[in-house]
Structure 1
Amino acid sequence: MDTAMQDRALGAVLAGACGDALGAPYEFGPPLVAEQPVEMRGGGPFGWEPGEWTDDTSMAIPVLEAVANGARWNETRTHGRLLAAWSDWAQDAPDVGAQTRAVLGRLTANTEDAARAAALAVHEQQGRSAGNGSLMRTAPLALGFLGDGGKRPLAVAARRVSDLTHHEDDAGDACVLWTVAIRHAVRRGKLDVRRGVPLLPRERRTLWLDRIAEAEHSAPADHTERNGWVVAALQAAVSAISTGDGLVDTLERAVRGGGDTDTVAAITGGLAGALAGASALPEQWTVLVHGWPGKRLDWLRSLAVRAVDRTPGPLGMPVRRS
């Protein structure tokens, strides 16, 4: 893997964490005017420290650790370990998404079958289950499938990880689209949110093409009232990336959209960081960002380096340098 590709792979992880910490103070707030500065100042409804990442990054870390440890995503024990890690983290976490907390609270065992059963039960009780809580955590999966032939296995893995807590199709679809787009951005340095559409169920492809087109002609603030919904969160992220001028401006636009700002900015950072690379992150952010489990961004970088070095692709094939 060449230096530029590695930089983009690290960017997918680190920009997500930076976006998360940047958006944390503004969570649940209204859209911000364009002239208002966006600062990594801490605070917000959960009293975050300046630069502290939230549940968005905390839930992504066990996924990244699994990639770094060479996990096999077609094995049920990999998913059981994720559930165990999330359950342990959630016991003391200051914030856990309502849907995710409900599912983890219903678990009878840290197994994939038990998680799917709990996710279905929550879906049936609430009548919906397409929150943005699975999309925010799946970006690191792309690092495990960068080799030739990795696109389709990545789509399967992304949906399977989403299904652990989010039963509804919209959530799984969004994770497929986003992780495939991140993989393409890392490999080619190009934006293509539609690249994963052929991997969705045939009857849902036109729906998503329409949703993506709508996002490209909108502003993040157009989705404020609904961006706790995975579709609106993805659309807000697409909007920020489509209109942003560089990585910093893109993440700031995501935050200015208001609403679930930390999650939208974390989602945005996964793809925007894969396009721009970790080197595009400003030092005033990277020296400040930290969070569970008591680590700083340098630790997250080291973990991402391990993930990139350990798993060039599911087939063990070299990554193309193009």
Structure 2
Amino acid sequence: MNEPTPAATPAPAHRIAARRSLEGLALGDAFGERWFPLFRDPQQAYEEIRARRTPEEPLWHWTDDTAMALGVQRVLDQYGEIRQPALARVFALGYAADPARGYGYGMHELLPRLLEEPDRWVELASGLFDGEGSLGNGAAMRAAPLGAWFRDSLLRVVEQAMLSAQVTHAHPEGVAGAIAVAVAAALSTRGELSIDAVADATPDSAVREGLLRAARLAFDTEPWKGADLLGNGARVRADDTVPFAVWCAARHPDDLTAALWTTAEGFGDVDTTCAITGGIVGARTGVEGVPEEWLRRREPLP
């Protein structure tokens, strides 16, 4: 007599939430990246986005945003928390495997050195940009799944987001951006996303000031105007990126498709703004309700 096959053990809720966020992040990243070629003709790009015409490319590849989010996820899967030396090694190995994912200037300088000397991550990350450290949006763009993972404790979210950021972004603004996005994702999983609550948990910084402006911006504001007032990532700084992306996510907390279209209307660093928005909203919705065509085109995740 054959023994019955044991039922698979359900994944813990925190892993499910983080994976849903990661799926949303990767979709936003790949969707946003498709718009860059059209930005050579801004009027055409704006008309295409306003008309909600899906980008024509048959394959939507994700960028460094997703590659680094996968690195965060791997460390969480292995240790259940952020361990900075391990994260430095994972980031360096991910870069070595595929350096053409669209990494920024600072990461092209830092990550090859981390591959050789991962234990020097504090010194190397702090030494970027004439010793100021990076205040870019790279720590924020990968933080949403971490927020979903630790969603039961905002204190833990803040602590872990800070640890995840410091490996590459030593500047306080880079850290603040990661904290804001992680908190937004945690609140999103609970159905409690509000920009004021995200600002309350974000350290004093230009990022927090931007969030406070975003909290006062009505949701019926045209997205291009919102991007004009809050920033759209064109300067690749955390404070120029995070407030607009959080505003777009809070504008459409239960509709990932609408949130990504709104974010794309802001132009700028659109793969990163869409990745942040996608990770926040996806922490609550996953990719449910997204057009099947989008999911078929997006590069699969490991």
TM-score (norm. length: structure 1): 0.74
| Deviation at residue 60 of structure 1 after TM alignment | 0.9
**After TM superposition, which residue ranges in structure 1, 4 or more long, deviate above 6 angstroms?**
1-7
Letter in 2 for 1:215: A
1:181 aligns with 2:189: no
The 5-angstrom pairing of residues 223-242 of structure 1 reads: 223-224=231-232, 226-242=234-250
Paired residues, what number?
276
- In structure 2, stretches of 5+ residues that fail to align are 1-9
Q: Which residue number corresponds to residue 124 of structure 2?
A: 118
d(CA) in 2 for partners of 1:281 and 1:3?
A: 24
1:288 aligns with 2:297: yes
- In structure 1, stretches of 5+ residues that fail to align are 43-48, 291-295, 300-322
**Higher mean C-alpha displacement, 264-273 vs 98-107:** 98-107
Letter in 2 for 1:158: A
- After superposition, the C-alpha distances for 1:85-111 in whole angstroms (9 at most, x for unaligned) are 334235x43421212212224435112
| Deviation at residue 163 of structure 1 after TM alignment | 1.3
| Deviation at residue 79 of structure 1 after TM alignment | 2.6
- After superposition, the C-alpha distances for 1:91-135 in whole angstroms (9 at most, x for unaligned) are x43421212212224435112xx122122221226x662111111
Q: Which residue number corresponds to residue 140 of structure 2?
A: 135
Q: Is the CA contact (8 Å cut-off) linking 2:181 and 2:280 kept in structure 1?
A: yes
Q: Is the CA contact (8 Å cut-off) linking 1:129 and 1:166 kept in structure 2?
A: yes
- Quick one: percent identity of the two aligned structures? 25
The 5-angstrom pairing of residues 9-24 of structure 1 reads: 9-24=18-33
The alpha-carbon distance between structure 1 residues 70 and 144, as it changes in their structure 2 partners (threshold 3 A), is farther
d(CA) in 1 for partners of 2:14 and 2:95?
A: 34
Q: Is the CA contact (8 Å cut-off) linking 1:138 and 1:158 kept in structure 2?
A: yes
TM-score (norm. length: structure 2): 0.78
The alpha-carbon distance between structure 1 residues 189 and 227, as it changes in their structure 2 partners (threshold 3 A), is farther
| Deviation at residue 83 of structure 1 after TM alignment | 3.5
Which structure is richer in relative contact order (CA contacts within 8 A, separation 6 or more)?
A: 1
**Higher mean C-alpha displacement, 207-216 vs 164-173:** 207-216
Letter in 1 for 2:291: P
- After superposition, the C-alpha distances for 1:241-288 in whole angstroms (9 at most, x for unaligned) are 244482211101111211211111001101111233332322211222
Letter in 2 for 1:39: T
| Deviation at residue 53 of structure 1 after TM alignment | 1.1
**Higher mean C-alpha displacement, 81-90 vs 134-143:** 81-90
SS in 1 for 2:52: coil
Letter in 2 for 1:276: T
The 5-angstrom pairing of residues 1-322 of structure 1 reads: 9-27=18-36, 29=39, 30=42, 32-33=46-47, 35-42=50-57, 50-73=59-82, 75-90=83-98, 92-107=99-114, 108-111=116-119, 114-124=120-130, 129-147=134-152, 150-186=153-189, 188-201=190-203, 204=204, 208-216=207-215, 217=217, 219=223, 220-222=226-228, 223-224=231-232, 226-244=234-252, 246-290=255-299, 296-297=300-301, 299=302
Letter in 2 for 1:41: E
